[in-house]
Amino acid sequence: MQTQSVDLAHLLAPWLDLSHSPYGTRKVGELHLDSRQIKVNDTFVAIQGHQVDGRTFIAKAIELGATTVLSQASEQHPHGEVQEQGEAIVIHLDNLHLSLSQLAGRKYSHSDTQLIGITGTNGKTTISQLIAQWLTLVEKRAAVMGTTGNGFLESLQPTANTTGSAIEIQRTLADLQQQGAQYTALEVSSHGLIQGRVAALQFEVGVFTNLSRDHLDYHGTMDEYAAAKKLLFTEHACKAAVINVDDAVGLQWWRSIENDVVPVSLGQYQDPQGVYATQVRYATSGIGIDFAGVAGCGTLNVPLIGEFNASNVLLAFATLIKLGIPKQALLATSEQLKPVLGRMELFTQPSKAKIVVDYAHTPDALEKALSALRVHCEGQLWVVVGCGGDRDTGKRPIMAASAEKLADRVIFSDDNPRSESPQAIIADMVQGLKHADKVIIEHDRFAAARHAVEQASEHDIILLAGKGHEDYQVFAQGSVHYSDRETAARLLGATL
């Protein structure tokens, strides 16, 4: 990408006055937190991170060609100190780790793109992609940033995290604007909010989906997890909030946050300033939603399945209304929306069981996915499910209990064991069962799915839960290629 030319005096103006310094006119190269990404004339940003102290790599960055280093200040090197190291300079700045979002925003400009931030436990990817799809259908240029990648839907670039680093986010947004993005929908994780990765972004609308158990290995308690999510609406520049008030946490926030709030409900709460369903119809071909509220009345027909997708659609619709997109244009295009890859994605072939691939990897998401499929299932409901290693162990028996309660046939298999023993993970899951003898254990995920297909009737539905869009499995020895979507297509003799 071509970035705007910025000098050090402009970049550092909020923190350090270099207007009369000989270094003030020095041009700032690409910003990088990882010294391994440094190229000639780049700028290395050295902070004390959660696991690694970037300041130990300053010499390496200069060796690779960095001409400027911005380093988190310390007792040895106080704020404002400038060191010359050959042709490179090292500038020490207080609290640099807290300033990354603003710093990167001064380097990478994207002021012409309207930003939508989506936070919550489940639904972020679906809602962000529905928003981008819908905007595209009404002839707007829209991009996404999140779990399944960054960019325009037809050309997503893979990402390592739901919410990237503060520098990556600003650089990507600038790049997308250069490619014509008028809107970008960002999935905003609790980690990203706590760590200030989106601190300097200006959101036109913030969306809250729901809150259920996840990431307690990081946050410790549900209250802390909720507090992290709420930061989008209380500590960030967020002009308007679209809140799912059918969720208990969302209901609390609706009554407490000071933003311009649009409450969204499937009918339990019928607020005239919100968007709410008056009737929802579920069929194998999709969902019909009659709605009323601030946007008036109308009907949305969408080719998605499941109650939670009805909620996702209404949240996306309310967001677009808040952005000023005409209601009639949205109604006219709703039938052209498509399911998101790996999110309640349906695979079918005549005379065979249906397979649904979904990313459900939390107790709440698994429960909702199975409950949604029960409405559509004429035969038995199967589920192949596992739990990730090196993550919250407390959710394992809870997910197992949900699978046993809501499915007719249950197979436990590997998800991403990471460094943990796959046997130990499933042993944790078994603790949540009442009838462990009725559950099949097959660690090989393809073999588990194949067994379900071989045993199921054409009226059955098989849910492959937990991996969704992912095309890999992570074991202690490393990653291997594996895709539930490819498995579903292969077992049914279908094409992706």
416 annotated as ligand-binding: yes
76 annotated as ligand-binding: no
189 annotated as ligand-binding: yes
Which of 219, 159, 169, 224 is CA-nearest to residue 196? 169
122 annotated as ligand-binding: yes
35 annotated as ligand-binding: yes
113 annotated as ligand-binding: no
121 annotated as ligand-binding: yes
Q: Are 46 and 57 in contact (CB under 8 A)?
A: yes
406 annotated as ligand-binding: no
493 annotated as ligand-binding: no
126 annotated as ligand-binding: yes
Q: Are 266 and 248 in contact (CB under 8 A)?
A: no
Which residues lie below 8 Å from residue 100, measured CB to CB, with a gap of 6+? 33, 45, 47, 165, 166, 167, 196, 197
125 annotated as ligand-binding: yes
Over the Cα atoms of the chain, what is R_g?
24
391 annotated as ligand-binding: yes
350 annotated as ligand-binding: no
161 annotated as ligand-binding: yes
CA-based torsion, 357, 359, 362, 365: positive or negative: negative
DSSP characters for 125-191?
HHHHHHHHHHHHHTT--EEEEETTEEE-GGGPBP-SSSS--HHHHHHHHHHHHHTT-SEEEEE--HH
397 annotated as ligand-binding: no
129 annotated as ligand-binding: no
Q: What angle do CA 433, 435, 438 make, to 5 degrees?
A: 115
Exposed/middle/buried for residue 160 (C-beta within 10 Å: 0-12, 13-18, 19+):
exposed
136 annotated as ligand-binding: no
Long-range contacts of 335-340 (CB under 8 A, 24+ apart): 335/301, 335/302, 335/303, 336/137, 337/130, 337/133, 337/134, 337/137, 337/302, 337/303, 337/304, 337/313, 338/133, 338/303, 339/303, 339/304, 339/305, 340/125, 340/126, 340/129, 340/130, 340/148
52 annotated as ligand-binding: yes
163 annotated as ligand-binding: yes
50 annotated as ligand-binding: yes
Extract the annotated binding site for ATP.
120-126
Extract the annotated binding site for meso-2,6-diaminopimelate.
391, 415-418, 466, 470
Extract the annotated binding site.
33, 35, 50-52, 120-126, 161-163, 189, 195, 197, 391, 415-418, 466, 470
